[in-house]
Chains A and B, each alone.
Chain A
Amino acid sequence: MSGEAFSLPAASIGGFIQDPSNANPNPKPNANPAKKKRNLPGTPDPDAEVIALSPKTLMATNRFICEICKKGFQRDQNLQLHRRGHNLPWKLRQRTNKEVRKKVYICPEKTCVHHDPSRALGDLTGIKKHFSRKHGEKKWKCEKCSKKYAVQSDWKAHSKTCGTREYKCDCGTLFSRKDSFITHRAFCDALAEESARLTSVAATSLNFGNDTVNLPHGFAGRGVQDVAGIPQFGSGFPQDFSGMPAPGLPEMVQMAPANLFGSSSHFPGFENGGATSSNSNNLSLSQLPQGLKEEGRNEGNLMESLSSLYSDNQNKQSKANASPMSATALLQKAAQMGSTRSNPSFFGNSFGVMSSSSSHTAPTFMASSSASMSATSNNLDKLMLQTGGKPSEPSLLSMHHPGSNSFAQSLTRDFLGMSNDQSPRPFLPQELAKYAAIGSTMGLSQFTSSNH
């Protein structure tokens, strides 16, 4: 943006008087074209003359009217020729032989980008069409697809191609333009999976730990095997991608991020950038961690031995045979186990454990935990209590204790060798309700016996 203020007269004089403003916008610091060349859109010639026309002028179709019969003409030349017919004096203007100063036009609409002289358009027809398209009413409608246009030529051009040539992506989207179709395909999920598949296949033959991973080979591979569509993007492409040069997708995408992220030859070329900077950081980082996940797979065999432990209830085993369960999967499993009320006992189910629903079943874990601590940490107890622990409710536990099955009782005695008549652990009412329904401790014996 040039930052200089321009006061262009509002061209409200009406009619078709042009108001040349002699203020030089100077939008670009450089450039003085020697010969006639086409400027990039939106970057006008710096010493061109800026012309501001009123909306009325722009929209007017036949600006030149014959006084006699009021017939309208688009060009002055045509009007003059017509005046001959009325026997009026006429004069055809000669093309001026002095050097013509280039004219650029700005859009009268204040909020428009092209209202700024530095973004003026170079062509009168262009500015007229722009004004109609952006700020005008869409009067022309395509019959086939109900798309509306403000400029008749746009409408005509569209009607010619509407429904004629179509590209269809695997995901079902239709395109009339080859370039947008190609862009979409590259991005489309359906293809992403395919290319990922191809990538992993191609990649296994690659040196894993190396930095030489180029663009997913799936892309290149796909380009080869796909229907005539992907590799050359041609000139249509840059419009979508804000001016990036577009030789072809793999190279383009490879090139651009190569620009962006430092490495000239690799696609995720960050390693090189990383290497150089890490040197300057005084860090000697080894290459990207080697051995991607090869040795881990061996541990999957462990899972097979697990299946002996679990009955058909734990049917996830079949799925988990190939590889160790990820932490996420474990969490999901745990959540599932927690939510199925019918199967409350943790390890016990497959051993046909009875799950007692009486309130006598002790949450042995809790009980014994508190019990074991109480004997050994009385002093600590006192510290705890004074800092806010809730007073114990021994009655609850002693109530539970006789109720728990003898086996569990003997076990706890075995391991702890102490009585559990005191428990500083507070029970929240909600927890109690849960414990009421929770299963037994029988699982322990089976569990330990099967393991030892």
Chain B
Amino acid sequence: MSQNESSPLKSSSSSLQDFSMMSLSPSLGSSYPWLKELKSEERGLYLIHLLLTCANHVATGSLENANIALEQISELASPDGDTMQRIAAYFTEALADRILKTWPGLHKAINSTRVVDLVSEQALVRRLFFEVFPFLKAAFLLVNQAIIEAMEGEKVVHVIDLDAAEPMQWIALIRGLSARPEGPPHLRITGIHVRKEVLDQMGHRLSEEAEKLDIPFQFNPVVGELEDLDVERLHVKTGEAVAISSVLRLHSLLASDDEPLRKKLPLALKNSNGIHLQRALQMSQNTLGELLEKDTVNGYSPSPDSASSSPLSSPVSPKVDTFLTALRGLLPKLVVITEQDSNHNGSTLMERLLESLHSYAALFDCLESTVSRASFERLKLEKMLFGNEIKNIISCEGAERKERHEKLEKWIQRLDSAGFCNVPLSYYGMLQAKTLLQGYNCNGYKMKGENGCVMICWQDRPMFSVSAWRCRNSL
């Protein structure tokens, strides 16, 4: 963390760390009465300081100090306060969750009555994210336009959705394709998702829409985890033009590649089916030991997985590379990737904390500027969507940590090495998306194009990226 001390140019992350090192004069009386007197800005700054300090303690294993920091944060943070208070609330919960994992029994017990992953909850959160923010809509506009243009002249179009949960995207595509001058193609959409109910819903809605517009249409549900996907199940036929769309899903494939965990498990488990077993064993083993070992050895965990700070180092991620290669084997005409554009995949806790503080600050600011504080929808989004992501980024490690967002340049490298080359996004699509963003009645949403890819930003911070690809050297 403080290796940057001698560097002449301080990045904002390391400066932030220095900030945490500053002595905070106030002492820590048991009731902290003066804390309540803090005004918004001071409180915000103090919260940042506390969060960083706390994370430091957690990372170095000094849990009592972490406890004190947590206590202070809890006095100040609140899920219905101002932006910084809300952010602090979710980060502190994530840190606490991380600490609690050092007692696996305790952790499980405290979560024993938590009803996990209700389908309706997930659907609600997804719908809220789609409605409240323009990100998904803009991305869909870009993706669909790219598909429509790539499929010009094609008679049979097969679209594969790597995480088929939002029917709106494909409804829009169906309408777009039916309006094209040469008439609609025969359309097949294959949707992949863990839950059968979601796919059934989607298939139903899409078939309905296609029938209304009289388009020959077929929906193929593929139930299962993307990580275990066998491309044969996609039933790609020769001669059909394939388009693959991945919306905020590819990053979780980066999660299956942790070396330190693999080392601990017997060789027999090291095959693709072993991922499940690995996960199961991980829980029953001494996760405490692993966590602390990762955190206290040399100060920070040395796991070689994924992103370090240097943009040029290409991480070893066999799982996602294999997957991309398999996709390329289908010879798709177009692959469109939509991803969060933040580096939340640092190998150390502090790296991830600093980065995610900035990214989620932007998202929470966005909500603050567009939705009222009393809004139930906002609360739900903050808690069920962002809160869970933050928890995953901060308190999970290894295969459990699925929210491995990375910056676009890393994805570009990966796709490049898997045999794809970039297709610039459609000018018309960008025009539409830009108009949409401007129409959201808020000056904060921006869009910028970079080498044919598009970044959708809040103020100046890129939040999501969309990029399109085709097979290199193919006919």
Contact = CB atoms under 8 A, between A and B. Distances in A.
Interface in B246-286: none
Contact of B439 (A213, A366, A381): A213
A18 interface: no
Interface in B134-183: 134, 137, 140-141, 144, 148-149, 152-155, 167-168, 171-173, 175-176, 179-182
Contact of A274 (B27, B34, B127, B362): B127
Contacts of A243: 180-181
B24 interface: yes
Given A261-B140, A434-B21, A333 B438 contact: no
Nearest to B46: A346
A208 B440 CA distance: 11
Contacts of B370: 289, 292-293
B436 interface: yes
A338 B22 contact: yes
Nearest to A371: B28
A377 B62 CA distance: 13
B18 A339 contact: yes
Given A199-B441, A338-B22, A444-B27, A1 B155 contact: yes
A367 B101 CA distance: 26
A368 B28 contact: yes
Contacts of A192: 434, 438
A199 B443 CA distance: 9
A268 B137 contact: yes
Contact of A302 (B39, B167, B179): B39
A240 B432 CA distance: 13
A93 to B, nearest CB: 37
Contact of B373 (A244, A295, A370, A424): A295
A121 B10 CA distance: 62
A303 B45 CA distance: 14
Nearest to B369: A293
Contacts of A425: 62, 64-65
B431 to A, nearest CB: 5
Interface in A417-452: 424-426, 428, 430-431, 433-435, 438-444, 447-448, 451-452
B441 A253 contact: no
A434 B2 contact: yes
Interface stretch (A168-176, A224-232, A382-390): A382-390
A260 B141 contact: yes
Interface stretch (B225-233, B292-300, B302-310, B324-332): B292-300
B289 interface: yes
Contact of A328 (B19, B172, B362): B362
A124 interface: no
Contacts of A441: 23, 25, 27
Interface string A131-174: 00000000000000000000000000000000000000000000
A377 B71 CA distance: 15
Interface residues of A, number: 128
A416 B68 CA distance: 13
A324 B41 contact: yes
Interface string A182-206: 0100110000100110011001000
Interface in B34-58: 34, 37-42, 44-45, 48-49, 53
Nearest to A326: B365
Nearest to A451: B37
Interface string B8-27: 00101101111111111111
Contacts of B53: 365
Contacts of B473: none
A271 B22 CA distance: 48
B314 interface: no
Given A43-B182, A282-B120, A330 B149 contact: no
Contacts of B152: 242
Given A199-B439, A387-B292, A295 B372 contact: yes
Interface stretch (A57-65, A71-79, A214-222): A214-222
A335 B13 CA distance: 7
Contacts of B82: 299, 324
B132 A288 contact: yes
A330 B44 CA distance: 7
Nearest to A187: B431
A268 to B, nearest CB: 5
A259 B40 contact: no
A97 to B, nearest CB: 35
B21 A372 contact: no
Contacts of B173: 260
Contacts of B176: 256, 259-260
Range, interface on chain B: 35 or more
Contacts of A406: none
A127 B377 CA distance: 60
Contacts of A337: 19, 22, 45
Contacts of A267: 435-436, 439
Contacts of A401: none
A374 B372 CA distance: 43
Contacts of A42: 153
B211 interface: no
A338 B175 contact: no
A242 B182 CA distance: 11
B67 interface: yes
B205 interface: yes
A369 interface: yes
A285 interface: yes
Contact of B19 (A290, A334, A364, A440): A334
B401 interface: no
Contacts of B3: 430
Nearest to A43: B182
A174 B433 CA distance: 24
A396 interface: no
B61 A389 contact: yes
B23 A292 contact: no
Contacts of B292: 387-388
Contact of A309 (B39, B371, B461): B39
Contact of B461 (A260, A328, A346): A328
Contacts of A216: 435, 438-439
B427 A242 contact: no
Interface in B306-320: none
A337 B15 CA distance: 8
A320 interface: yes
Residue among B23, B173, B181, B239 having the largest count of chain A Cβ atoms under 10 Å: B23
A270 B10 CA distance: 43
Interface in A235-279: 240-244, 253, 256-257, 259-262, 267-268, 270-271, 273-274, 277-278
Given A242-B148, A325-B44, A339-B15, A1 B168 contact: no
Interface of B: 1-3, 5, 10, 12-13, 15-30, 34, 37-42, 44-45, 48-49, 53, 60-65, 67-69, 82-84, 87, 102, 120, 123-124, 127-128, 130-132, 134, 137, 140-141, 144, 148-149, 152-155, 167-168, 171-173, 175-176, 179-182, 201, 205, 239, 288-289, 292-293, 296, 299, 357-358, 361-362, 364-365, 368-375, 377-378, 427-428, 430-432, 434-436, 438-443, 459, 461
Interface of A: 1, 3, 40, 42-43, 119, 183, 186-187, 192, 195-196, 199-200, 203, 208, 213-216, 218-219, 240-244, 253, 256-257, 259-262, 267-268, 270-271, 273-274, 277-278, 280-283, 285-286, 288-296, 299, 302-303, 305-306, 309, 320, 324-328, 330-339, 344-348, 361, 363-366, 368-370, 372-374, 377, 380-381, 384, 387-390, 411-412, 414-416, 424-426, 428, 430-431, 433-435, 438-444, 447-448, 451-452
10 contacts: A262-B171, A326-B365, A326-B368, A327-B368, A365-B26, A366-B65, A373-B64, A389-B61, A390-B60, A438-B22
Given A203-B441, A309-B42, A325-B41, 16 more contacts: A42-B153, A213-B439, A242-B152, A257-B432, A261-B141, A261-B168, A274-B130, A285-B128, A290-B372, A292-B372, A296-B368, A302-B40, A324-B82, A327-B83, A388-B61, A426-B62
